[in-house]
Chains A and B, each alone.
Chain A
Protein backbone atom coordinates (compact mmCIF):
# COMPACT_ATOMS: atom_id res chain seq x y z
CA UNK A 1 0.00 0.00 0.00
CA UNK A 2 1.60 3.22 -1.11
CA UNK A 3 1.33 6.27 1.12
CA UNK A 4 1.05 8.40 -2.02
CA UNK A 5 -2.27 6.92 -3.09
CA UNK A 6 -5.84 7.67 -2.08
CA UNK A 7 -8.54 5.09 -1.33
CA UNK A 8 -10.82 4.14 -4.20
CA UNK A 9 -13.49 6.62 -5.23
CA UNK A 10 -12.03 9.82 -3.79
CA UNK A 11 -9.94 12.45 -5.54
CA UNK A 12 -7.71 15.41 -4.89
CA UNK A 13 -8.72 18.46 -6.89
CA UNK A 14 -5.66 20.22 -8.24
CA UNK A 15 -5.38 24.02 -8.74
CA UNK A 16 -6.48 24.23 -12.38
CA UNK A 17 -9.62 22.19 -11.80
CA UNK A 18 -10.21 23.73 -8.38
CA UNK A 19 -10.25 27.20 -9.89
CA UNK A 20 -13.05 26.15 -12.25
CA UNK A 21 -14.89 24.54 -9.36
CA UNK A 22 -14.61 27.74 -7.32
CA UNK A 23 -15.73 29.77 -10.31
CA UNK A 24 -18.84 27.59 -10.59
CA UNK A 25 -19.45 27.92 -6.85
CA UNK A 26 -19.24 31.71 -7.11
CA UNK A 27 -21.72 31.82 -9.99
CA UNK A 28 -24.12 29.56 -8.09
CA UNK A 29 -23.74 31.55 -4.86
CA UNK A 30 -24.70 34.69 -6.75
CA UNK A 31 -27.71 32.92 -8.28
CA UNK A 32 -28.83 31.53 -4.90
CA UNK A 33 -28.42 34.86 -3.12
CA UNK A 34 -30.22 36.76 -5.89
CA UNK A 35 -33.24 34.54 -5.31
CA UNK A 36 -33.26 35.12 -1.58
CA UNK A 37 -31.89 31.77 -0.44
CA UNK A 38 -29.92 31.73 2.83
CA UNK A 39 -26.77 29.65 3.29
CA UNK A 40 -26.57 26.73 5.70
CA UNK A 41 -23.96 24.15 6.67
CA UNK A 42 -24.65 20.90 8.45
CA UNK A 43 -22.14 18.95 10.52
CA UNK A 44 -20.21 16.40 8.47
CA UNK A 45 -20.42 13.80 11.23
CA UNK A 46 -23.70 12.64 12.72
CA UNK A 47 -25.03 9.80 14.82
CA UNK A 48 -25.86 6.67 12.87
CA UNK A 49 -29.01 6.28 14.97
CA UNK A 50 -30.39 9.51 13.53
CA UNK A 51 -30.79 7.80 10.19
CA UNK A 52 -30.96 4.11 11.07
CA UNK A 53 -34.34 4.22 12.75
CA UNK A 54 -36.32 6.32 10.33
CA UNK A 55 -38.19 4.85 7.39
CA UNK A 56 -36.48 7.14 4.91
CA UNK A 57 -33.02 5.96 5.86
CA UNK A 58 -30.41 5.22 3.27
CA UNK A 59 -29.22 1.63 3.17
CA UNK A 60 -26.61 1.20 5.88
CA UNK A 61 -24.09 -0.42 3.55
CA UNK A 62 -23.84 2.92 1.74
CA UNK A 63 -22.87 4.94 4.82
CA UNK A 64 -19.30 5.50 5.97
CA UNK A 65 -19.37 4.51 9.64
CA UNK A 66 -16.95 4.85 12.52
CA UNK A 67 -17.15 4.80 16.31
CA UNK A 68 -17.04 7.72 18.73
CA UNK A 69 -14.82 7.55 21.82
CA UNK A 70 -17.90 6.53 23.84
CA UNK A 71 -18.56 3.66 21.45
CA UNK A 72 -21.52 5.21 19.63
CA UNK A 73 -21.71 4.70 15.90
CA UNK A 74 -21.14 7.77 13.72
CA UNK A 75 -21.72 8.37 10.02
CA UNK A 76 -20.10 10.72 7.55
CA UNK A 77 -22.85 12.90 6.03
CA UNK A 78 -24.65 10.45 3.72
CA UNK A 79 -27.16 12.92 2.27
CA UNK A 80 -27.50 16.69 2.47
CA UNK A 81 -31.29 16.81 2.25
CA UNK A 82 -31.66 14.49 5.25
CA UNK A 83 -29.39 16.74 7.33
CA UNK A 84 -31.19 19.91 6.31
CA UNK A 85 -34.56 18.36 6.98
CA UNK A 86 -33.31 17.48 10.48
CA UNK A 87 -32.09 21.04 10.99
CA UNK A 88 -35.38 22.49 9.76
CA UNK A 89 -37.46 20.28 12.02
CA UNK A 90 -35.35 20.64 15.16
CA UNK A 91 -33.59 24.01 15.01
CA UNK A 92 -35.21 26.55 12.73
CA UNK A 93 -37.76 28.85 14.39
CA UNK A 94 -40.05 28.96 11.35
CA UNK A 95 -41.19 26.04 9.21
CA UNK A 96 -40.65 28.20 6.13
CA UNK A 97 -37.12 28.69 4.82
CA UNK A 98 -35.28 28.83 1.53
CA UNK A 99 -31.79 27.49 2.04
CA UNK A 100 -28.76 26.81 -0.12
CA UNK A 101 -25.70 24.76 0.63
CA UNK A 102 -22.34 23.60 -0.62
CA UNK A 103 -22.12 20.28 1.20
CA UNK A 104 -20.21 17.21 0.19
CA UNK A 105 -21.71 13.81 0.85
CA UNK A 106 -20.16 10.39 1.09
CA UNK A 107 -21.47 7.19 -0.41
CA UNK A 108 -19.53 4.14 0.72
CA UNK A 109 -20.74 1.99 -2.15
CA UNK A 110 -20.81 3.81 -5.40
CA UNK A 111 -17.17 3.76 -6.49
CA UNK A 112 -16.44 2.76 -10.06
CA UNK A 113 -18.02 3.52 -13.42
CA UNK A 114 -17.27 7.21 -13.24
CA UNK A 115 -18.91 7.56 -9.84
CA UNK A 116 -17.11 8.78 -6.78
CA UNK A 117 -17.59 8.10 -3.11
CA UNK A 118 -17.06 11.71 -2.15
CA UNK A 119 -19.69 13.77 -3.92
CA UNK A 120 -19.14 17.51 -4.18
CA UNK A 121 -22.48 19.21 -4.47
CA UNK A 122 -24.41 22.43 -4.28
CA UNK A 123 -28.10 22.50 -3.61
CA UNK A 124 -31.19 24.34 -2.48
CA UNK A 125 -34.14 23.37 -0.32
CA UNK A 126 -37.46 25.22 -0.18
CA UNK A 127 -38.99 24.30 3.14
CA UNK A 128 -42.59 24.81 4.22
CA UNK A 129 -44.11 25.34 0.80
CA UNK A 130 -46.42 23.22 -1.32
CA UNK A 131 -48.24 23.24 -4.61
CA UNK A 132 -47.62 23.24 -8.34
CA UNK A 133 -46.39 26.84 -8.40
CA UNK A 134 -43.68 26.05 -5.85
CA UNK A 135 -42.70 22.95 -7.87
CA UNK A 136 -42.61 24.91 -11.13
CA UNK A 137 -40.46 27.64 -9.58
CA UNK A 138 -38.05 25.02 -8.29
CA UNK A 139 -37.78 23.38 -11.71
CA UNK A 140 -37.30 26.72 -13.45
CA UNK A 141 -34.63 27.68 -10.93
CA UNK A 142 -32.91 24.31 -11.42
CA UNK A 143 -32.66 25.09 -15.15
CA UNK A 144 -31.39 28.61 -14.37
CA UNK A 145 -28.73 27.20 -12.06
CA UNK A 146 -27.51 24.69 -14.65
CA UNK A 147 -27.24 27.49 -17.21
CA UNK A 148 -25.56 29.70 -14.61
CA UNK A 149 -22.74 27.17 -14.25
CA UNK A 150 -22.00 27.74 -17.95
CA UNK A 151 -23.68 24.64 -19.36
CA UNK A 152 -25.49 24.75 -22.71
CA UNK A 153 -28.50 22.74 -23.86
CA UNK A 154 -29.73 21.66 -20.45
CA UNK A 155 -32.82 19.48 -20.19
CA UNK A 156 -34.84 18.87 -17.07
CA UNK A 157 -36.57 15.50 -17.04
CA UNK A 158 -39.61 15.64 -14.75
CA UNK A 159 -41.71 12.86 -13.27
CA UNK A 160 -44.04 12.30 -10.34
CA UNK A 161 -43.77 9.36 -7.95
CA UNK A 162 -47.55 9.41 -7.45
CA UNK A 163 -48.29 8.06 -10.91
CA UNK A 164 -46.37 4.81 -10.51
CA UNK A 165 -47.37 4.47 -6.85
CA UNK A 166 -51.01 4.90 -7.84
CA UNK A 167 -50.79 2.18 -10.48
CA UNK A 168 -49.12 -0.19 -8.06
CA UNK A 169 -51.23 0.48 -4.96
CA UNK A 170 -54.15 -1.43 -6.47
CA UNK A 171 -52.12 -4.65 -6.55
CA UNK A 172 -51.71 -5.01 -2.81
CA UNK A 173 -47.95 -5.54 -2.98
CA UNK A 174 -45.80 -5.82 0.10
CA UNK A 175 -43.18 -3.07 0.54
CA UNK A 176 -40.42 -5.38 -0.62
CA UNK A 177 -42.37 -6.45 -3.71
CA UNK A 178 -43.27 -2.87 -4.53
CA UNK A 179 -39.60 -1.88 -4.25
CA UNK A 180 -38.60 -4.65 -6.65
CA UNK A 181 -41.27 -3.62 -9.14
CA UNK A 182 -40.20 0.03 -8.79
CA UNK A 183 -36.57 -0.86 -9.45
CA UNK A 184 -37.55 -2.81 -12.58
CA UNK A 185 -39.74 0.00 -13.88
CA UNK A 186 -37.05 2.55 -13.11
CA UNK A 187 -34.79 0.50 -15.39
CA UNK A 188 -37.64 0.45 -17.96
CA UNK A 189 -37.58 -3.33 -17.58
CA UNK A 190 -41.30 -3.79 -18.14
CA UNK A 191 -40.95 -7.54 -18.61
CA UNK A 192 -39.64 -8.19 -15.13
CA UNK A 193 -42.17 -5.79 -13.60
CA UNK A 194 -44.94 -7.65 -15.38
CA UNK A 195 -43.65 -11.00 -14.15
CA UNK A 196 -43.54 -9.76 -10.56
CA UNK A 197 -47.00 -8.21 -10.78
CA UNK A 198 -48.51 -11.30 -12.34
CA UNK A 199 -47.06 -13.33 -9.47
CA UNK A 200 -48.70 -10.93 -7.02
CA UNK A 201 -52.07 -11.38 -8.74
CA UNK A 202 -52.36 -7.98 -10.43
CA UNK A 203 -55.35 -7.38 -12.71
CA UNK A 204 -55.16 -7.10 -16.49
CA UNK A 205 -55.80 -3.34 -16.44
CA UNK A 206 -52.85 -2.73 -14.12
CA UNK A 207 -50.64 -4.99 -16.22
CA UNK A 208 -51.37 -3.14 -19.44
CA UNK A 209 -50.71 0.19 -17.72
CA UNK A 210 -47.44 -1.09 -16.28
CA UNK A 211 -46.47 -2.43 -19.71
CA UNK A 212 -46.91 1.07 -21.12
CA UNK A 213 -45.13 2.81 -18.22
CA UNK A 214 -41.58 2.53 -19.60
CA UNK A 215 -42.72 4.26 -22.81
CA UNK A 216 -44.45 7.16 -21.07
CA UNK A 217 -41.79 9.78 -21.61
CA UNK A 218 -41.44 12.74 -23.94
CA UNK A 219 -43.20 16.10 -24.16
CA UNK A 220 -46.54 17.14 -22.70
CA UNK A 221 -48.28 14.70 -25.06
CA UNK A 222 -47.55 11.89 -22.58
CA UNK A 223 -50.17 13.22 -20.15
CA UNK A 224 -53.06 12.27 -22.44
CA UNK A 225 -51.61 8.80 -23.05
CA UNK A 226 -50.98 8.29 -19.34
CA UNK A 227 -54.48 9.47 -18.47
CA UNK A 228 -56.12 6.85 -20.66
CA UNK A 229 -54.29 4.02 -18.89
CA UNK A 230 -55.75 4.23 -15.44
CA UNK A 231 -58.71 5.28 -13.34
CA UNK A 232 -56.68 5.29 -10.13
CA UNK A 233 -57.34 8.51 -8.21
CA UNK A 234 -53.75 8.92 -6.97
CA UNK A 235 -52.25 8.39 -10.42
CA UNK A 236 -54.69 10.84 -11.99
CA UNK A 237 -54.01 13.42 -9.28
CA UNK A 238 -50.28 13.12 -10.02
CA UNK A 239 -50.98 13.67 -13.73
CA UNK A 240 -53.18 16.69 -13.05
CA UNK A 241 -50.42 18.14 -10.87
CA UNK A 242 -47.79 17.63 -13.57
CA UNK A 243 -50.03 19.24 -16.18
CA UNK A 244 -50.36 22.26 -13.94
CA UNK A 245 -46.60 22.41 -13.41
CA UNK A 246 -46.16 22.17 -17.16
CA UNK A 247 -48.67 25.00 -17.78
CA UNK A 248 -46.82 27.28 -15.35
CA UNK A 249 -43.41 26.40 -16.82
CA UNK A 250 -44.70 27.11 -20.33
CA UNK A 251 -46.00 30.47 -19.11
CA UNK A 252 -42.55 31.22 -17.63
CA UNK A 253 -40.88 30.32 -20.94
CA UNK A 254 -39.17 27.08 -19.87
CA UNK A 255 -41.18 24.66 -21.98
CA UNK A 256 -38.35 23.89 -24.39
CA UNK A 257 -36.01 22.85 -21.57
CA UNK A 258 -38.40 20.40 -19.93
CA UNK A 259 -39.44 16.84 -20.76
CA UNK A 260 -41.52 14.37 -18.79
CA UNK A 261 -41.10 10.74 -17.76
CA UNK A 262 -43.87 9.04 -15.81
CA UNK A 263 -41.84 5.86 -15.51
CA UNK A 264 -39.34 7.33 -13.06
CA UNK A 265 -39.38 6.06 -9.53
CA UNK A 266 -36.24 7.21 -7.78
CA UNK A 267 -34.72 4.82 -5.31
CA UNK A 268 -34.66 7.35 -2.48
CA UNK A 269 -37.88 6.60 -0.73
CA UNK A 270 -38.33 10.09 0.72
CA UNK A 271 -39.61 11.62 -2.51
CA UNK A 272 -43.36 12.15 -2.33
CA UNK A 273 -44.29 14.23 -5.38
CA UNK A 274 -42.47 15.59 -8.41
CA UNK A 275 -38.98 14.25 -9.09
CA UNK A 276 -36.57 15.57 -11.66
CA UNK A 277 -33.10 15.16 -13.15
CA UNK A 278 -30.99 17.72 -14.97
CA UNK A 279 -29.39 16.31 -18.12
CA UNK A 280 -26.82 17.37 -20.68
CA UNK A 281 -25.88 15.08 -23.51
CA UNK A 282 -22.15 15.25 -22.82
CA UNK A 283 -22.45 13.33 -19.54
CA UNK A 284 -24.13 9.95 -19.23
CA UNK A 285 -25.54 10.59 -15.75
CA UNK A 286 -27.68 13.44 -14.38
CA UNK A 287 -25.79 16.57 -13.30
CA UNK A 288 -28.71 17.65 -11.13
CA UNK A 289 -31.27 15.70 -9.16
CA UNK A 290 -34.19 16.70 -6.99
CA UNK A 291 -37.79 16.43 -6.02
CA UNK A 292 -40.49 16.99 -3.43
CA UNK A 293 -40.25 15.31 -0.04
CA UNK A 294 -43.27 16.40 2.00
CA UNK A 295 -43.06 13.79 4.76
CA UNK A 296 -39.32 13.54 5.35
CA UNK A 297 -39.28 15.93 8.32
CA UNK A 298 -42.12 13.97 9.98
CA UNK A 299 -39.49 11.52 11.15
CA UNK A 300 -37.78 14.38 12.99
CA UNK A 301 -41.03 15.39 14.67
CA UNK A 302 -42.43 18.17 12.49
CA UNK A 303 -44.44 18.19 9.29
CA UNK A 304 -42.62 20.40 6.78
CA UNK A 305 -43.52 19.97 3.12
CA UNK A 306 -40.47 20.74 1.00
CA UNK A 307 -38.87 20.58 -2.40
CA UNK A 308 -35.25 20.92 -3.47
CA UNK A 309 -32.41 19.81 -5.67
CA UNK A 310 -28.69 19.16 -5.64
CA UNK A 311 -26.13 19.73 -8.39
CA UNK A 312 -23.21 17.34 -8.76
CA UNK A 313 -20.37 19.80 -9.26
CA UNK A 314 -17.83 17.26 -10.47
CA UNK A 315 -20.21 16.19 -13.23
CA UNK A 316 -20.79 19.84 -14.10
CA UNK A 317 -17.02 20.27 -14.55
CA UNK A 318 -16.85 17.20 -16.79
CA UNK A 319 -19.75 18.53 -18.87
CA UNK A 320 -18.21 22.01 -19.10
CA UNK A 321 -14.95 20.55 -20.33
CA UNK A 322 -16.70 18.37 -22.93
CA UNK A 323 -18.82 21.30 -24.10
CA UNK A 324 -15.67 23.40 -24.42
CA UNK A 325 -17.10 25.88 -21.94
CA UNK A 326 -14.38 25.91 -19.31
CA UNK A 327 -13.62 29.47 -18.21
CA UNK A 328 -10.07 30.56 -19.13
CA UNK A 329 -7.35 30.16 -16.52
CA UNK A 330 -6.27 33.67 -15.58
CA UNK A 331 -2.54 34.46 -15.43
CA UNK A 332 -1.24 37.29 -13.25
CA UNK A 333 -1.93 40.78 -14.55
CA UNK A 334 1.18 42.15 -12.89
CA UNK A 335 4.40 40.65 -11.51
CA UNK A 336 6.82 42.66 -9.34
CA UNK A 337 10.38 42.04 -8.19
CA UNK A 338 12.80 44.29 -6.33
CA UNK A 339 16.37 44.70 -5.18
CA UNK A 340 17.39 44.14 -1.60
CA UNK A 341 16.48 47.19 0.46
CA UNK A 342 13.48 48.15 -1.72
CA UNK A 343 11.02 45.69 -0.16
CA UNK A 344 8.82 48.47 1.22
CA UNK A 345 8.54 50.19 -2.18
CA UNK A 346 7.71 46.87 -3.85
CA UNK A 347 5.02 46.14 -1.28
CA UNK A 348 3.43 49.58 -1.84
CA UNK A 349 3.43 49.01 -5.59
CA UNK A 350 1.78 45.58 -5.26
CA UNK A 351 -0.89 46.99 -2.97
CA UNK A 352 -1.62 49.75 -5.46
CA UNK A 353 -2.19 47.17 -8.20
CA UNK A 354 -4.35 45.06 -5.89
CA UNK A 355 -6.47 48.14 -5.11
CA UNK A 356 -6.96 48.51 -8.87
CA UNK A 357 -8.43 44.99 -8.85
CA UNK A 358 -5.44 43.35 -10.53
CA UNK A 359 -4.15 39.84 -9.95
CA UNK A 360 -0.54 40.17 -8.76
CA UNK A 361 2.61 38.16 -8.10
CA UNK A 362 5.45 39.40 -5.88
CA UNK A 363 8.72 37.55 -6.42
CA UNK A 364 10.31 35.83 -3.41
CA UNK A 365 13.87 36.41 -4.65
CA UNK A 366 15.75 39.63 -5.38
CA UNK A 367 16.74 40.86 -8.82
CA UNK A 368 15.19 40.93 -12.28
CA UNK A 369 15.96 37.25 -12.82
CA UNK A 370 13.37 36.43 -10.18
CA UNK A 371 10.62 37.08 -12.73
CA UNK A 372 12.02 34.67 -15.32
CA UNK A 373 9.33 32.16 -16.20
CA UNK A 374 6.60 34.06 -14.35
CA UNK A 375 3.54 34.52 -16.58
CA UNK A 376 2.19 38.06 -16.29
CA UNK A 377 0.88 40.74 -18.64
CA UNK A 378 3.15 43.41 -17.09
CA UNK A 379 6.37 43.10 -15.09
CA UNK A 380 8.03 45.69 -12.84
CA UNK A 381 11.40 45.92 -11.13
CA UNK A 382 11.62 48.11 -8.03
CA UNK A 383 15.05 49.53 -7.25
CA UNK A 384 16.01 51.93 -4.49
CA UNK A 385 15.66 54.74 -7.00
CA UNK A 386 12.15 53.80 -8.12
CA UNK A 387 10.14 51.35 -10.19
CA UNK A 388 10.87 50.48 -13.82
CA UNK A 389 8.66 48.55 -16.21
CA UNK A 390 10.37 45.52 -17.72
Chain B
Protein backbone atom coordinates (compact mmCIF):
# COMPACT_ATOMS: atom_id res chain seq x y z
CA UNK B 1 0.00 0.00 0.00
CA UNK B 2 1.21 3.51 -0.84
CA UNK B 3 0.48 6.10 1.81
CA UNK B 4 0.17 9.79 0.96
CA UNK B 5 0.28 12.85 3.18
CA UNK B 6 -1.90 15.38 1.39
CA UNK B 7 -2.36 19.03 2.29
CA UNK B 8 -5.74 20.31 3.31
CA UNK B 9 -6.65 23.69 1.86
CA UNK B 10 -5.78 25.35 -1.43
CA UNK B 11 -3.79 22.42 -2.87
CA UNK B 12 -6.22 19.68 -1.79
CA UNK B 13 -8.49 19.48 -4.83
CA UNK B 14 -5.67 19.92 -7.34
CA UNK B 15 -3.63 17.20 -5.64
CA UNK B 16 -6.53 14.75 -5.71
CA UNK B 17 -7.24 15.53 -9.37
CA UNK B 18 -3.61 15.00 -10.34
CA UNK B 19 -3.41 11.66 -8.53
CA UNK B 20 -6.69 10.54 -10.11
CA UNK B 21 -5.29 11.38 -13.54
CA UNK B 22 -2.41 9.00 -12.79
CA UNK B 23 -4.66 6.08 -11.96
CA UNK B 24 -4.90 6.49 -8.18
CA UNK B 25 -8.37 5.70 -6.85
CA UNK B 26 -9.09 8.98 -5.10
CA UNK B 27 -12.89 8.66 -4.88
CA UNK B 28 -12.65 8.44 -1.11
CA UNK B 29 -11.13 11.95 -1.01
CA UNK B 30 -14.32 13.45 -2.40
CA UNK B 31 -16.48 12.05 0.36
CA UNK B 32 -17.68 14.48 2.96
CA UNK B 33 -16.12 12.99 6.06
CA UNK B 34 -14.29 14.05 9.17
CA UNK B 35 -12.05 11.03 9.09
CA UNK B 36 -8.37 11.87 8.90
CA UNK B 37 -7.16 8.50 7.62
CA UNK B 38 -8.73 7.37 4.39
CA UNK B 39 -8.19 4.26 2.32
CA UNK B 40 -9.01 3.84 -1.37
CA UNK B 41 -11.72 1.30 -2.23
CA UNK B 42 -9.20 -0.98 -3.92
CA UNK B 43 -7.08 -0.95 -0.75
CA UNK B 44 -3.97 0.10 -2.67
CA UNK B 45 -3.61 3.61 -1.29
CA UNK B 46 -3.94 5.32 2.08
CA UNK B 47 -4.32 9.05 2.55
CA UNK B 48 -3.65 11.32 5.52
CA UNK B 49 -5.14 14.77 5.26
CA UNK B 50 -2.97 17.17 7.21
CA UNK B 51 -2.15 20.84 7.51
CA UNK B 52 0.21 21.78 4.64
CA UNK B 53 3.02 22.68 7.05
CA UNK B 54 2.82 19.20 8.59
CA UNK B 55 3.26 17.21 5.36
CA UNK B 56 7.10 17.16 5.54
CA UNK B 57 7.03 15.77 9.09
CA UNK B 58 4.85 12.80 8.06
CA UNK B 59 7.01 12.04 5.04
CA UNK B 60 10.35 12.48 6.81
CA UNK B 61 9.31 10.00 9.49
CA UNK B 62 8.18 7.51 6.84
CA UNK B 63 4.63 7.43 8.19
CA UNK B 64 3.67 8.51 4.67
CA UNK B 65 5.66 7.32 1.65
CA UNK B 66 4.79 10.30 -0.53
CA UNK B 67 3.50 13.79 0.08
CA UNK B 68 2.39 16.85 -1.82
CA UNK B 69 3.53 20.13 -0.36
CA UNK B 70 4.46 23.67 -1.35
CA UNK B 71 8.11 24.52 -1.89
CA UNK B 72 7.65 27.35 0.64
CA UNK B 73 6.92 24.78 3.35
CA UNK B 74 9.90 22.67 2.31
CA UNK B 75 12.22 25.65 2.55
CA UNK B 76 10.82 26.56 5.95
CA UNK B 77 10.82 23.07 7.45
CA UNK B 78 14.20 21.97 6.06
CA UNK B 79 13.36 18.28 6.48
CA UNK B 80 15.48 15.38 5.29
CA UNK B 81 13.46 13.99 2.39
CA UNK B 82 13.55 13.62 -1.38
CA UNK B 83 11.97 16.23 -3.58
CA UNK B 84 10.94 14.15 -6.56
CA UNK B 85 8.90 16.38 -8.84
CA UNK B 86 7.80 19.93 -9.47
CA UNK B 87 4.03 19.50 -9.84
CA UNK B 88 3.78 22.98 -11.35
CA UNK B 89 0.64 23.95 -9.50
CA UNK B 90 -0.22 26.63 -6.98
CA UNK B 91 2.60 28.86 -8.19
CA UNK B 92 3.53 31.80 -6.00
CA UNK B 93 6.53 33.77 -4.69
CA UNK B 94 8.03 34.28 -1.26
CA UNK B 95 8.49 37.99 -0.95
CA UNK B 96 9.23 40.84 1.41
CA UNK B 97 6.42 43.38 1.29
CA UNK B 98 5.66 46.69 2.97
CA UNK B 99 4.62 50.25 2.29
CA UNK B 100 6.10 51.77 -0.86
CA UNK B 101 6.82 55.10 0.83
CA UNK B 102 8.74 53.41 3.61
CA UNK B 103 11.21 51.47 1.47
CA UNK B 104 14.08 52.72 3.60
CA UNK B 105 12.93 50.52 6.45
CA UNK B 106 14.95 47.77 4.81
CA UNK B 107 18.10 49.54 5.95
CA UNK B 108 16.81 50.08 9.46
CA UNK B 109 19.02 48.03 11.81
CA UNK B 110 16.04 46.78 13.75
CA UNK B 111 13.63 45.89 11.05
CA UNK B 112 10.51 44.21 12.40
CA UNK B 113 9.45 41.33 10.16
CA UNK B 114 6.06 39.65 10.53
CA UNK B 115 5.93 36.16 9.04
CA UNK B 116 4.83 32.58 9.39
CA UNK B 117 8.12 31.52 7.77
CA UNK B 118 10.23 32.14 10.85
CA UNK B 119 13.19 29.89 9.96
CA UNK B 120 13.36 31.11 6.39
CA UNK B 121 13.15 34.76 7.42
CA UNK B 122 15.92 34.28 9.97
CA UNK B 123 18.07 32.66 7.31
CA UNK B 124 17.62 35.24 4.56
CA UNK B 125 18.16 38.19 6.87
CA UNK B 126 21.12 36.57 8.66
CA UNK B 127 23.75 38.17 6.42
CA UNK B 128 21.87 41.37 5.82
CA UNK B 129 20.78 43.07 8.98
CA UNK B 130 19.46 42.66 12.46
CA UNK B 131 15.78 41.96 12.57
CA UNK B 132 13.08 41.24 15.05
CA UNK B 133 10.86 38.42 13.91
CA UNK B 134 7.20 38.56 14.81
CA UNK B 135 5.74 35.09 14.27
CA UNK B 136 2.14 35.14 13.06
CA UNK B 137 -0.20 32.42 11.82
CA UNK B 138 -2.42 34.25 9.34
CA UNK B 139 -3.51 37.60 7.89
CA UNK B 140 0.13 38.63 7.87
CA UNK B 141 -0.71 41.80 5.87
CA UNK B 142 -2.38 43.20 8.94
CA UNK B 143 0.95 43.59 10.73
CA UNK B 144 2.37 46.58 8.79
CA UNK B 145 -1.11 48.08 8.45
CA UNK B 146 -1.49 48.19 12.22
CA UNK B 147 2.14 49.09 12.92
CA UNK B 148 2.95 45.71 14.51
CA UNK B 149 5.77 45.24 11.97
CA UNK B 150 7.67 47.25 9.35
CA UNK B 151 7.53 44.59 6.66
CA UNK B 152 6.13 41.14 6.09
CA UNK B 153 7.75 38.07 4.60
CA UNK B 154 5.06 35.90 3.04
CA UNK B 155 3.80 34.08 -0.02
CA UNK B 156 2.45 36.31 -2.74
CA UNK B 157 0.16 34.79 -5.34
CA UNK B 158 -1.67 37.55 -7.20
CA UNK B 159 -0.72 40.44 -4.94
CA UNK B 160 -4.34 41.53 -4.59
CA UNK B 161 -4.40 41.31 -0.79
CA UNK B 162 -1.24 43.43 -0.65
CA UNK B 163 -2.72 45.97 -3.04
CA UNK B 164 -5.99 46.20 -1.15
CA UNK B 165 -4.01 47.12 1.95
CA UNK B 166 -1.72 49.61 0.26
CA UNK B 167 1.35 47.34 0.43
CA UNK B 168 3.83 46.55 -2.34
CA UNK B 169 6.40 43.84 -2.90
CA UNK B 170 9.82 45.20 -1.90
CA UNK B 171 11.77 42.13 -2.95
CA UNK B 172 10.99 38.71 -4.38
CA UNK B 173 13.24 36.38 -2.41
CA UNK B 174 12.13 33.07 -3.91
CA UNK B 175 10.22 32.85 -7.17
CA UNK B 176 8.79 29.70 -8.70
CA UNK B 177 7.34 28.41 -5.44
CA UNK B 178 5.14 25.53 -6.54
CA UNK B 179 3.75 22.30 -5.14
CA UNK B 180 6.25 19.45 -5.03
CA UNK B 181 6.00 15.71 -4.77
CA UNK B 182 8.17 14.57 -1.87
CA UNK B 183 9.22 11.06 -0.93
CA UNK B 184 10.58 9.43 2.18
CA UNK B 185 14.24 8.59 1.63
CA UNK B 186 13.94 4.99 2.79
CA UNK B 187 10.51 4.17 1.34
CA UNK B 188 11.63 5.29 -2.13
CA UNK B 189 14.18 2.47 -2.08
CA UNK B 190 12.34 -0.19 -0.08
CA UNK B 191 9.03 0.26 -1.93
CA UNK B 192 10.57 1.12 -5.29
CA UNK B 193 8.36 -1.26 -7.32
CA UNK B 194 5.22 0.41 -6.02
CA UNK B 195 6.39 4.01 -5.96
CA UNK B 196 8.53 4.46 -9.08
CA UNK B 197 5.83 3.65 -11.70
CA UNK B 198 3.47 6.13 -10.03
CA UNK B 199 6.18 8.80 -9.87
CA UNK B 200 6.84 8.25 -13.60
CA UNK B 201 3.14 8.68 -14.37
CA UNK B 202 3.09 11.89 -12.35
CA UNK B 203 6.20 13.10 -14.16
CA UNK B 204 4.44 12.57 -17.49
CA UNK B 205 1.21 14.16 -16.24
CA UNK B 206 2.85 17.42 -15.21
CA UNK B 207 5.14 17.72 -18.23
Contacts and interface: CB of A to CB of B under 8 A. Distances in A.
Nearest to A190: B83
Interface string B55-97: 0010011110000000000000001111110100000000000
Given A113-B61, A114-B61, A281 B186 contact: yes
A155 B191 CA distance: 11
B190 interface: yes
Interface string B186-207: 1111111000000000000000
Contact of A279 (B81, B86, B190): B190
Contacts of A217: 188-189
Contacts of B60: 113, 284
Nearest to B183: A188
Contacts of B26: none
A344 interface: no
A284 B192 contact: no
A385 B183 CA distance: 71
Contacts of A285: 61-62, 80, 185-186
Nearest to B188: A217
A281 B81 contact: no
Contacts of B184: 284
A189 B63 contact: no
B63 A281 contact: no
Dominant SS among interface residues on chain B: mixed
Contact of A218 (B83, B185, B192): B192
A191 interface: yes
B157 to A, nearest CB: 20
Nearest to A156: B189
Nearest to A286: B186
A187 interface: yes
Contacts, number: 55
Contacts of B192: 218, 259
Contacts of A153: 190
A54 to B, nearest CB: 25
A188 B183 CA distance: 10
Nearest to A284: B62
A284 B61 CA distance: 5
Contact of B189 (A114, A187, A279, A283): A279
B190 A281 contact: yes
Given A188-B82, A285-B62, A280 B190 contact: yes
Nearest to B83: A189
A280 B185 CA distance: 11
B144 to A, nearest CB: 30
A135 interface: no
B62 A188 contact: no
Contacts of B176: 191
A189 B86 CA distance: 9
A281 B187 contact: yes
A248 B44 CA distance: 38
A66 to B, nearest CB: 26
Contact of A187 (B57, B62, B81): B81
10 contacts: A157-B189, A187-B81, A188-B183, A191-B83, A217-B188, A218-B192, A279-B189, A280-B186, A281-B186, A284-B186
Given A113-B61, A214-B82, 4 more contacts: A157-B189, A187-B83, A279-B190, A280-B186
Interface of A: 113-114, 153, 155, 157, 187-189, 191, 214, 217-218, 259, 261, 279-281, 283-286
The 4 residue pairs across chains A and B that have the minimum distance between CB atoms: A284-B62, A281-B190, A188-B82, A189-B83
